[in-house]
Each structure stands twice: as C-alpha cells, then as structure tokens.
Structure 1
Amino acid sequence: MKPIKNNRGGVRLGAGRRPGSGLYGEETKVMRVPRSSVSNIKKYLNLSRLNNIDNISLARDEITYNPLVLFEHKVPAGFPSPADDHVEKRLDLNEYLIKKSDATFFVKIKGDSMIDASINDGDIVIIDRSIQAKIGDIVLASVDGNFTIKTLSKHKLKPRLLPANEKYKPIEIDDNTQFELWGVVTGAVRKFK
C-alpha cells in the first residue's frame, strides 16, 4: 500500500498562538490536580487574571501546627500587668483563623473603602466560601466582573453592597448587574512591622 500524500498540516510561518497572547499573558502548562482542589484553583486563576485584587493565596490543605503562647489575662492598652507570669494555653493561628481550609483563601486589600470596619489598605482578609452570606456580613463579591469587599445589605428587596467609609457610595445591584458572592470575610491579618 502506498502512503497518501497530505497537503495539510505542517509548519507554517506565523501560524499558531502568539506567546503571551492567552488569558494569562504567559505560557501555560497542563497538569493534574486533585479533584477537590479544582474549584479553588479556578477561582484563584479568575481572581488573579482580572488583576483587580492584589495578592490572592489559597489556604493550604495541610495546615502546619505551630501553636504559640497565649496568656488568658486580658491586657489593657495601658500599663502592663505582672499577673501573667505563666503560660495558660497555646494558640495555633491556623486553627484560630481557618475553619475549612479547602474552602478558604486570602485576599490582599487594595484601597480604603472599608477602613471604618478596620479593614485597611494592605491588610490580608480571610475568605470562607463554605459560609452562606447573610445581611450584615462582609463579603467578597464580583460586580460586573470587578471584585470588591463590602458589607452585604438589602435595599428594595435587592442586594446592596455598603462601603465602610463615607467617601464611597453604596453599590446598588439591579437586574442588569452581573453579581456573584464569592465568600464571606471571616477575619483579617495585619502586620505592624
């Protein structure tokens, strides 16, 4: 049997996807990931691709147990008390801050729209996707493709997102708004030095 000559295919000058022209602006790689992590990875990629939230990181599945000393005595922001000369128990920050690691990720805050809720520019907030958002919760929401951290409210039977800074107006959600709640803010981390 004689091989059939095919005039299709082969290398063509200028053909194919241009480097850096994909969704992420860089070369991609196919990889196998655990099925339980697919949702987190997709959300991470969507958040980072939209580039309107600074640093996003997923909570690690295997949480390192490293408890630190916790003194039970309440400390006033005045003079120190010599009452706590002994350790009463230990505190693991991962255990304290993260309830469900497979549904939790971190977002670095950019901006000052939530300063009256003690969420400042540069803070890292903890987002838990497993919690059903309620009115009054601080949430991570997508509004017309842009991510924002605001307090969930309701106005005229429709969702409304409230800033915690009087310089900003509430975000009204109507039938034409592309709106999705991504998770509930459960805490914040701030470094002073």
Structure 2
Amino acid sequence: MTVSATASSDGFLYDRVSQHLLELVAAGTLKPGDRAPSLRGLSRQLNVSISTVSQAYNRLQDMGVLRVKPQSGYYVDGSIAATSAQAVQRRTSVSRQPRKVRFGELFEEIFSVANDPSVVPFGAAVPAVELMPVKGMVRATQRALTRRPEQAVNYCFPPGDVELRREIARRYVPLGVAVDPDNVIITSGCSEALALSLQTVTRRGDIVAVESPTY
C-alpha cells in the first residue's frame, strides 16, 4: 500500500496516514489496548517518511486515539478511539461487517458426503490412495524442494516448467511415440486440460463421448 503526494486538496500527507489508522480502528483491525504499528514499520508499509508517520501519530495522540507507553510504543486508547472510529465508519458507504455465507441444502449435502472417507467419489476419476506411490512421491518432492526451493513459492507460467515437459516427453519413448517437449503444455488442473483439448479438436455442436459415472 502506498500513500502518495505530500499535500493536496484532500489535505496533508500526515492527515491521510492518521485517517488510515482511524479506518483500522473502525474496522476492528486495531482494538483499544492494541499496539499500533511502529513508526518505521508503518513508514515502510505506506511508503512515507518516518517524520510523516510521527506527525500523524502526534495528531492521533492529541485526539486521544493513541497513547504512548515509554520505551514500548503507541497504543490504541479506549473510549475516544471508539468514538473517532464510529465517525469514520459513518462516512463509509460499504459495510465492514462480515456476513455469513450460506449454501443451499443440496450443496451442504454434497460437501458432507464428499468429506466422508467411506464414500467412493464417482464424480471424478480419483484413484484410491492405497494405489498411489505416496512414499516415493514424498521423497521426490523433498528432493525437488532441496534442489530448487524457490519453485515452492513461485508461479510457473505457460507452457510450464521445461524440465517437467522434457520428462513427460521421455515417458512416451517406451510407447514408441515421439513427443516434442515444446508440444507439451502444463495446465492448472484437469478441467483446464479438458477445456483446452476440446477447444482444439471440437467445434460447437460436436458430439463428445465421455466415461460414466466419471466426467
């Protein structure tokens, strides 16, 4: 998040920073007694100078929203902070109160059955766990994370990781099929793979045979 400009028709920059803190109190993110972000931390977060944050905190202190504890930092004060937060909330047109998300009875029944381990999921072609080489997959995953740990937190853009595409192409060699890794595309799941395949080989109105009861 960035707060820009030192001054404008909307007021000084430190006014915007103090307004940001008031909105955090109004949303309940900061409650009475909570410690406010440090001067240095908030300056980095909002991309403003420490002196600007200090001015904003001094203003909030004058308003009674923040109080200082020596050698500890700034803390949200009680009743005055709540009053100031209510004033901010009244100026906000969007409700900040969360609403409970409700599903229909059919969805709730489906989710309940899907989480039942005794039920076989015929809705998708999912192999039984005991048929999968889980231990080998875990070891392979650990080796991959040791060799390339950055891949655990990065997105891989199309057409996919080149080493994975080469390995998939090699797996076709025993079948007598020559596959160019450049013709292999890694998708974001089976649904995307099916959609891309159908878009490639079919046209609107074509008849497509699928397995049943899976899809």
TM-score of the two chains, using structure 1 as the length reference: 0.20
Larger % of strand: which? Answer: 1
Larger % of helix: which? Answer: 2
TM-score of the two chains, using structure 2 as the length reference: 0.19
